[in-house]
Chains A and B, each alone.
Chain A
């Protein structure tokens, strides 16, 4: 059981967040994620839409690292490595697709492809 006494250790840096708490970082990450969602919904430029998904990845990474620090566990950081991997793979494929789509219609407008929904 974590008590107030054990928090003050010989090494000051051992306390997980200093004067901060888990909630601070989760709130920052929540704000970034929400802004990413709003950007994905409002922007019509395909590249900027993918950029917004990268922003959401970023928010998830901050939450992972914060939770990892909270539990004093390295799994959070290892998860971020996998997030980076998936983000890199996604951006490579998505950007290749964007280039192909741009060659077809000479526009980056996502709404130029609305006939795909029928």
Chain B
């Protein structure tokens, strides 16, 4: 353990000191040209990400704060740790690019800050709280705040699905199991919490691991993300392609057409496509009433299907096999849970049953499989 700590500390020192020699401009490959957006990295005006050494300092602070919060039953350490954590987070925010810069789209930066603070704070509280039920409740808060972040990222469907599935279903299962697996209170402790919930296992080593991970991921996010490259499409091109999704929704397209060009019929080509992009404008190919040749009519960007429809289209049209596999995974998980939870077998139950002249539990189960379980498989 000591040897491990020393070697990890040496590695960390090397990681920490190495970028101090490198200036910011010669990292990250591409020089920033004027008028060119370094995507995810540095924008041309007013956006500067923090230097890696600063990021490492902040994550060390965060790791120390986490270590102090994980100390068992030591209130003053916990207070210092909490303050240190908040200081690290505040410093981090101060060094971030202008999140609160004025923005046309209703200042999403403010909401990002709020929900990021809530989720990270609740995550820390979740792993430091000695009562598992409270941990689960803090996790519900994390789920809610990350659903809010999904909304900021224009993923409306996933935001609500997350709340319904995670907070509504999975967390309730956790709560039920927590209540089923209720411990008898520990007599040694005034709060009655069992010892293994009050005392963290190897908090120092875990904090170091967390720090390494955070420093690496953070360095990737602030400096090395240039390797992600340019986005696949620009935002305006993506809006056009969203309108093209109407090709997969013929009934909706017919409705739009009937509203604006009554009597016209849609001219589907061999690939079942009628919506095309011409000169960066979405067009639909129509045959007007009483004419023979198709003409192009312009659609508006607002005609594009909404997020829910587009996610559904992507799920069914682009990832159909994965969808089937997901169904199989859920089905197998259900079978597994039923098989696991079906019967409670006590230790030594077989011997007791033999003494009482009954069959062994295992024989009983096999027989049951043949009559009961076999029938289910065939249907």
**Could you tell me which A residues sit within 8 Å of B by CB distance?**
1-4, 6-7, 9-28, 30-39, 41-45, 47-48, 50-52, 54-55, 58, 61-62, 65-78, 80-82, 84-93, 95-100, 102-104, 106-111
Question: Are the CB atoms of B170 and A88 closer together than 8 Å?
Answer: yes
Question: Are the CB atoms of A87 and B201 closer together than 8 Å?
Answer: no
Chain A residues near B217: list those with CB within 8 A. 26-27, 30, 33-34
Please name 19 pairs of A and B residues whose Cβ atoms are closer than 8 Å in the assembled complex, sorted by A: A12-B104, A18-B105, A18-B108, A19-B100, A21-B47, A23-B222, A24-B112, A24-B116, A37-B213, A38-B70, A42-B70, A43-B197, A58-B142, A71-B232, A80-B155, A88-B333, A93-B333, A103-B344, A108-B132
> With A42-B70, A92-B333, A108-B196 in contact, do A35 and B123 touch (Cβ < 8 Å)?
yes
Question: Are the CB atoms of A75 and B314 closer together than 8 Å?
Answer: yes
A10-B105 Cα distance, complex, nearest whole Å: 12
Question: Are the CB atoms of B218 and A25 closer together than 8 Å?
Answer: no
Question: Are the CB atoms of B213 and A33 closer together than 8 Å?
Answer: yes
Question: Are the CB atoms of A35 and B127 closer together than 8 Å?
Answer: yes
Chain A nearest CB from B61 CB (Å) reads 13
Contact of B202 among A42, A69, A71, A109 (CB under 8 A): A42
Chain B residues near A31: list those with CB within 8 A. 62, 120, 123, 214
Contact of B174 among A34, A51, A86 (CB under 8 A): A51
Chain B residues near A69: list those with CB within 8 A. 153-155
The 8 A CB mask of B183-226 against A (1 = contact, 0 = none) is 11000000000101101111101110111011001101110010
Question: Are the CB atoms of B35 and A6 closer together than 8 Å?
Answer: no
Answer whether residue B233 sits at the interface, using C-beta atoms and an 8 A cutoff: yes
Question: Are the CB atoms of B149 and A62 closer together than 8 Å?
Answer: yes
Chain A nearest CB from B322 CB (Å) reads 6
Question: Are the CB atoms of B103 and A21 closer together than 8 Å?
Answer: no
Question: Are the CB atoms of B39 and A22 closer together than 8 Å?
Answer: yes
Question: Are the CB atoms of A77 and B209 closer together than 8 Å?
Answer: no
A16-B105 Cα distance, complex, nearest whole Å: 10
How many A-B Cβ pairs are below 8 Å?
325
Question: Are the CB atoms of A88 and B314 closer together than 8 Å?
Answer: no
A17-B107 Cα distance, complex, nearest whole Å: 10
Question: Are the CB atoms of B39 and A2 closer together than 8 Å?
Answer: yes
Chain A nearest CB from B366 CB (Å) reads 19
Answer whether residue B340 sits at the interface, using C-beta atoms and an 8 A cutoff: yes
> With A21-B97, A71-B231, A80-B158 in contact, do A87 and B170 touch (Cβ < 8 Å)?
yes
Question: Are the CB atoms of A85 and B124 closer together than 8 Å?
Answer: no
In the complex, besides A21-B97, A45-B197, A62-B150, 11 extra interface pairs with C-beta distance below 8 angstroms are: A19-B101, A23-B41, A23-B49, A34-B211, A38-B127, A44-B196, A51-B126, A78-B311, A95-B177, A96-B336, A107-B196
A49-B135 Cα distance, complex, nearest whole Å: 10
> With A25-B149, A51-B174, A81-B326 in contact, do A18 and B311 touch (Cβ < 8 Å)?
no
Question: Are the CB atoms of B231 and A16 closer together than 8 Å?
Answer: yes
Question: Are the CB atoms of B39 and A102 closer together than 8 Å?
Answer: no
Answer whether residue B370 sits at the interface, using C-beta atoms and an 8 A cutoff: no
Chain A nearest CB from B14 CB (Å) reads 20
Chain B residues near A106: list those with CB within 8 A. 183-184
A88-B167 Cα distance, complex, nearest whole Å: 11
Chain B nearest CB from A8 CB (Å) reads 8
> With A20-B112, A62-B146 in contact, do A38 and B210 touch (Cβ < 8 Å)?
yes
Q: Which of B234-242, B261-269, B285-293, B354-362 contacts A (4 or more CB under 8 A)?
A: B234-242
The residue of chain A having its C-beta at the shortest distance from the C-beta of B169 within the complex is A88
Chain B residues near A9: list those with CB within 8 A. 235-236, 239
A118-B21 Cα distance, complex, nearest whole Å: 47
A9-B197 Cα distance, complex, nearest whole Å: 54
